Structure 1
Amino acid sequence: MHRATHSQESNHGKWTLSSSDDEPEESGKPSRSPTGASLDPLPRYSCSEARKASHKRKANPVSFEEEEQGTRQSPVKKLKLDKDDSGWCLSSSDDESKPSQKIKAEREGPGRKPRPPQTQDDERGQSTSGQDKYKTPSDSQDPWDLLHAGEPFCFYLTKVRGIKPKYNFGALHIKDILSPLYGTLESSVQFNYCIDVPWLVKQYPEEFRKKPLLVVHGEKQESKAKLHEAAHPYEHIRLCQAKLDIAFGTHHTKMMLLLYKEGLRVVIHTSNLIHGDWDQKTQGIWLSPLYRRIQEGASISAGESATNFRADLISYLASYNSPTLREWMEIIKQHDLSETRAYLVGSTPGRFQGVEREKWGHLRLRKLLREHTTPVPGQQDWPVIGQFSSIGSMGADKTKWLHSEFRESLGTLGKGAKADIPLHLIYPSVDNVRTSLEGYPAGGSLPYGIQTAQKQPWLHSYFHRWKAETSGRSSAMPHIKTYMRTSPDFQELAWFLVTSANLSKAAWGCFEKSGAQMFIRSYELGVLFLPSAFGSETGTFSVKENIYAKSENPQSAFPVPYDLPPERYSGKDRPWVWNIPYVNAPDTHGNIWCPS
């Protein structure tokens, strides 16, 4: 594909601006910063530029005091966009809020020095920071209590280091998911975008570390060679490359298939297979029931759920066109998935017409909402909330995609007429990131770039802060992605989706040929929760106000992982943009952010 590019000089360095509207949100590009500087030291796994910058800053933090005293030349002067209605501008730091008292006290305490966040595991799989370690299973919780805490939705958050223990109740670490307490593992598949092979191997219990493991990835060229090199010492690991023939597409799906002696389990989640994603971030997990093997001689339809989950999962695996994954399609057919009450919503790369057009992406969501929801009076005006950790190009204005095809899909309820529904978008502000557990390096998992942000200042008027005080996770930056339809008072849900798909056309797809064709660049996967599948008499879920409390009616109370109503950006708030510096206010570790 030909791409027209031009360069633009600014106070932030030289940028190359692409004409493509669909650059992926977590693309594995060469390890160069916006200024062309090499981002060393690099992590031992391939990942996005933003994550490499984060890794560099964790390994070599720049302290706020150092900057204040002038021992370093300031890397930035202020950059502003043209004024717009939202009052949003891209500033290095002149308008940053002043250090909070807590951060200032930490920074000015006796003998206080900036402390870099934890970077990687040592040879025993433990943190080099000397801070609290995870136990397996989580703390002293009974493993069956952990599973029970997520019922009936089988929806969980990941455990976060550094928050109060009560806020980790019912949360899972990857070591919990792979624990022998949940089954005797025989083999497994890990689908993911960013993979640290040595770290991943250490997450399996010792008795399972040599069981056959298939890793499905989207790496190419140098990144692929690096992954193969990392996997070479492990004879039990096979690699399967997802085909990505369309430019700027990524293999962004995050799923585990765990085959036990006792049955099969499917895990669909939002975490990359690296330490940082399971440490101090808010992530989502859907953990299926244990699927037992079907009796020999049973009918071909045995084991299918009312949500058609088994057939949809097999169809998703078939889209890879991989002989290796065909083996797993046969394994799935041999198990009883009838207990599944969630719907599968996936994306695969390609151009789709006819009956295939509604099979993937946002049209898949639209089809499910049209066929399995029923609007109630007044529900047509209920707002949609989207929450994500990265953003692609939306076009020159809201009508190009966001307010047309995408909002129409998310706004579908049964076969009723579409209304001009409100749209609330939740994405961390600069101050959210600065005051987070990880500090500025948390922004490496929020790869919204200056090149994209400059082209769509209109989008930022929709933005709301990340706020999760009721779950104790406001300081754990989100890598989870969720979408839902809520009542105007935010007390009820028409549906809820947790997925790997960020806010981008590459992930969700966009129309071509006047809507006759759906074009998708990336692999994505999520699960949709509909009230009808959970026996709701009202056709809605209530919002569970305290996600840790036992509900009187658990069938209809959904544990939304952040606070409602969403809190709109203030006049001083700006969305986090990863590849510009923030130097005038320290983060929770006393450091500043210089991505170059």
Structure 2
Amino acid sequence: MANALAAGHDISSSEDEEQENFAAPLGTSDVPTASTVDEFPDVPVTPKSEHLLKVTTAAGKGYFHGNQHGERDIDIGGTSKSGTDKMDSTTSSPGGSSFRRFPEFFKDFKKKKKAEQESSNLPPSKKRKLEDHQATFQEVMKEASPFNFLLTKVTGIPAEFNNKLSVHIKDILSVEMGELVESAQFNFMHDIPWLMEQYPAEHRSKPLLIVHGEERQGKVTLHEGAQNFPNITMCQAKLDMIYGTHHSKMMLLLYTNGLRVVIHTANLIEQDWYQKTQGVWISPLFPKLDKSQMSSDGITGDSITHFKKDLVEYLTMYKSFSLLRWKQHILQHDFTSAKVFLVASVPGRHTGESKNKWGHMKVRKVLGKQGPQASFVKNWSVAGQFSSVGSLGADQSKYLCGEWLQSMLSAKGVGTLYAAKDVTIKTLKLIFPSKENVRTSLEGYPAGASIPYNIQNARKQQYFHAFLHKWKADKRGRSRASPHIKTYALLSPDSKNAAWFMVTSANMSKAAWGTLEKNGNQLMIRSYEIGVMFLPEYFVDGGEQFSLVEDQSTEATPYFPIPWDVPLEPYTKADRPWVWDIPYTDKPDSHGNAWIPGGR
């Protein structure tokens, strides 16, 4: 058992110190190979039957629940005999949300927020006004045009970073956006009473459809949370694939003067909108079509990216009567101003034309037809940033550097830019929080409860760690705001430009992106996911790239506000990826706590 760790200890990282319980790191050669050194030797592992976090501080000892989200986007690819992590259906089931089973975590979170408010010399109302600055939401949206890509506001960072391209859920649902008629919320986790508080008072009685994947007790609890709101209707997404989740995060907002689509990365719980980095894409307002413009035998008012058609098809895959109403709403509106591509995943085994409509194969299709010219992006690299890692297999050439990366590296004129055998650490750059990122974050170690990467997978796929880069977002003021956002891009060799960018709910897992079966003739996907892809030519005539450096942008190369700093910063020899089911007692976190999974 760890000794008490006093709050206020130095939490700065040190490149000279080796983290305890870890052996020597991987080598740094360009071509990563599986290390013969076990980077993660035997250490206590959290039992799957109980995810408790034992926090030790100078003030005393107490138990917190180590999985505040239950959002275990873990890919299942085999049996326990082969070392594959299986999700415990009794404790972390796809529909189950451990914060609901462990209400004490909510109490602790709310106590923390109340204490922060009371510690201020200003009343919360006045403090709120000061932190909100002078910028109106409409001004923020004007600044975000034409991409409409924003980050969520973060409590605890300088106001300047929350006033630039930042949004809160109350802003998204505000009356400034329009006079709401009805709405639909698609998500993995819902705190219904909290969600209703985010709607303005005049909109709280409007019809609201909740699309979820809850089952068994999780479904009962969700319905209990909605029992005081007669305007709420539930739609349960079918999860026919074992271990699949309804991980999509989307809002459909119908107004008296149009319809808006919001695709984002945050669960509908207070913690996700508090001190985490999240991404949000807010569509233009899509006006209603005249009846004379509508067609009875097809889709009219679509954009050149086929966003409307793809969204309707995505909703169709739910096979739910509750969503027929929303399909009709979408069909009745003009989506020609949509400039992004929809990239979604739906559970199932997809063959024929359907195989190329979902997951990483949709990315392959879009980039192969509308992506950059292969000659223009020669020697460019894929950047992938995510908050969860699944089982990717022991051979990097099979999935990570094989079918998944081949899709991300697709371009006009060629099938892919690199063969799997030619992939190096310069070709693929993955951004995932290190142990130090989590330890020094605003939330401290509890932030790691939303960053699932288990020790079994970490030991099995050590090649993965050679591609890793730290989470760093100084330019957006969010280096200490733990990322729950998921983003992907194709970067130029100097990291000053991008040929495309994507924000999505999909983490680094086969469950999210899908895996090819039957000699490549079938794509198997377990979960629902949704995201959008930005390509330069749809925002600028003849555009080939976005600038990632604001003062170097031009009319032909507009600045795109990515959420992380470039150039990316590789892990040092002392860095290790965050693994959530092993203890960290060598250094206290930003609140003076240790991380001891399982309450040991």
Match of 2:502 among 497, 500, 503: 497
Match of 1:155 among 142, 146, 149: 149
Residue of structure 2 equivalent to 1:283 = 278
Counterpart CA distance in 2 for 1:411 and 1:348 is: 22
**1:376-395 superposed matches below 5 A:** 377=375, 379-395=377-393
**1:76-475 superposed matches below 5 A:** 134=128, 138-169=132-163, 170-300=165-295, 301-375=299-373, 377=375, 379-416=377-414, 418=416, 419=418, 420-421=422-423, 422-475=427-480
> Tell me, what secondary structure is at the counterpart of 1:285?
strand
Residue of structure 2 equivalent to 1:114 = none
* Unaligned 5+ runs, structure 2: 1-40, 50-73
Deviation at 1:438, TM superposition (A): 0.8
Deviation at 1:417, TM superposition (A): 5.0
1:173-228 deviations in whole A, cap 9, x for unaligned?
00000000110111100000011111101100011111111000001111111111
Matched AA of 1:472: G
Cα distance change on mapping 1:32 and 1:142 into 2, 3 Å: closer
Deviation at 1:329, TM superposition (A): 0.2
Deviation at 1:129, TM superposition (A): 6.7
Percent identical among aligned pairs is 46
Please report the RMSD computed on the Cα atoms of aligned residues, expressed in angstroms: 3.0
Matched AA of 1:469: D
> Tell me, what secondary structure is at the counterpart of 1:385?
strand
Q: Identify which range, 335-344 or 23-32, moves more after superposition.
A: 23-32
Is 1:21 equivalent to 2:15 in the alignment?
no
Deviation at 1:378, TM superposition (A): 5.2
Cα distance change on mapping 1:559 and 1:321 into 2, 3 Å: same
Match of 1:510 among 509, 512, 515: 515
User: Contact (CA 8 Å) 1:254, 1:269: kept in 2 or not?
Assistant: yes
Matched AA of 1:156: L
> Tell me, what secondary structure is at the counterpart of 1:199?
helix
Cα distance change on mapping 1:427 and 1:476 into 2, 3 Å: same
Residue of structure 1 equivalent to 2:559 = 557
User: Contact (CA 8 Å) 2:95, 2:213: kept in 1 or not?
Assistant: no
Counterpart CA distance in 2 for 1:205 and 1:161 is: 21
Matched AA of 1:291: F
Counterpart CA distance in 2 for 1:211 and 1:26 is: 41
Counterpart CA distance in 2 for 1:129 and 1:519 is: 51
Deviation at 1:585, TM superposition (A): 0.8
Counterpart CA distance in 2 for 1:554 and 1:271 is: 32
Counterpart CA distance in 2 for 1:54 and 1:208 is: 30
Is 1:534 equivalent to 2:590 in the alignment?
no
Matched AA of 1:372: Q
Cα distance change on mapping 1:343 and 1:539 into 2, 3 Å: same
> Tell me, what secondary structure is at the counterpart of 1:591?
coil
1:404-436 deviations in whole A, cap 9, x for unaligned?
100100000113253245101000001001111
Cα distance change on mapping 1:165 and 1:364 into 2, 3 Å: same
Deviation at 1:400, TM superposition (A): 2.1
Cα distance change on mapping 1:401 and 1:55 into 2, 3 Å: farther
Counterpart CA distance in 2 for 1:297 and 1:199 is: 42
* Unaligned 5+ runs, structure 1: 1-8, 34-44, 61-116
Q: Identify which range, 276-285 or 456-465, moves more after superposition.
A: 456-465
Counterpart CA distance in 2 for 1:299 and 1:514 is: 42
Cα distance change on mapping 1:425 and 1:592 into 2, 3 Å: same
User: Contact (CA 8 Å) 1:308, 1:343: kept in 2 or not?
Assistant: yes
Matched AA of 1:339: S
Cα distance change on mapping 1:512 and 1:134 into 2, 3 Å: farther
Residue of structure 2 equivalent to 1:98 = none
Counterpart CA distance in 1 for 2:382 and 2:293 is: 43
Cα distance change on mapping 1:127 and 1:365 into 2, 3 Å: farther
State TM-score, norm by structure 2.
0.80
Residue of structure 2 equivalent to 1:594 = 596
Deviation at 1:121, TM superposition (A): 7.2
Counterpart CA distance in 2 for 1:32 and 1:445 is: 13
Counterpart CA distance in 2 for 1:136 and 1:190 is: 30
User: Contact (CA 8 Å) 2:75, 2:511: kept in 1 or not?
Assistant: no
Residue of structure 2 equivalent to 1:37 = none
Cα distance change on mapping 1:518 and 1:444 into 2, 3 Å: same
Counterpart CA distance in 1 for 2:520 and 2:413 is: 19
Counterpart CA distance in 1 for 2:270 and 2:362 is: 32
Cα distance change on mapping 1:239 and 1:454 into 2, 3 Å: same
User: Contact (CA 8 Å) 2:45, 2:455: kept in 1 or not?
Assistant: no
User: Contact (CA 8 Å) 1:449, 1:577: kept in 2 or not?
Assistant: yes
Is 1:12 equivalent to 2:44 in the alignment?
yes
Q: Identify which range, 127-136 or 462-471, moves more after superposition.
A: 127-136
User: Contact (CA 8 Å) 2:186, 2:210: kept in 1 or not?
Assistant: yes
Deviation at 1:11, TM superposition (A): 4.5
Deviation at 1:330, TM superposition (A): 0.3
Is 1:521 equivalent to 2:526 in the alignment?
yes
User: Contact (CA 8 Å) 1:291, 1:337: kept in 2 or not?
Assistant: yes
Cα distance change on mapping 1:484 and 1:579 into 2, 3 Å: same
Cα distance change on mapping 1:227 and 1:293 into 2, 3 Å: same
Deviation at 1:479, TM superposition (A): 0.4
